[in-house]
Amino acid sequence: DVVVTQSPVSLPVSLGQPASISCRSSQSLVHSDGNTYLSWFQQRPGQSPRRLIYKISNRDSGVPDRFSGSGSGTDFTLKISRVEAEDVGVYYCMQGAHWPLTFGGGTKVEIK
């Protein structure tokens, strides 16, 4: 199985400051169809997960533009340009290029 590793595990951030989460996979996430299947999810406390970004950098409907994704191959990043209080929660990356789909272990974002 493809191992997906996120860092850091915990990320204290001041309001209005940027945040960055890293996601690395044990294999390239470039699919035979040419797409790179790396998605990002947010799970606020007490809520179901919500997908923020798919195929590296495509924001889902309703996702604020302060969230952005980048990367290629095996190395990816989620950036929050200016952290707001509602961004508190756990963020997961997920690879969809190989079966079984696998999630990273999560990064907890909290306000400093």
List, as own/partner pairs, every contact residues 70-73 make where C-beta atoms lie below 8 angstroms and the sequence separation is at least 24, other chains included: 71/23, 71/38, 72/36, 73/28, 73/29, 73/30, 73/36
Q: How far is the CB of 58 from another protein (least distance, A)?
A: 8
Asked whether 59 and 70 are in contact (CB, 8 A), the reply is no
Q: Is 99 a residue that touches another protein (CB under 8 A)?
A: yes
Q: Which of 13, 76, 92, 109 lies at the binding interface for another protein (CB under 8 A)? A: 92
The residue among 14 and 26 lying less far from another protein, judged by its C-beta, is: 26
Tokens, residue 103: 């999630």
Please report, as residue ranges, which positions from 16 to 75 form the binding site for another protein (by CB under 8 A).
31, 33, 35, 37, 39, 41, 43, 48-51, 54-55, 60
Instruction: Tell me whether strands 58-59 and 19-25 are parallel, antiparallel or unpaired.
Output: unpaired
Residues engaged in binding another protein (CB under 8 A): 1, 31, 33, 35, 37, 39, 41, 43, 48-51, 54-55, 60, 90, 92, 94, 96-97, 99-106
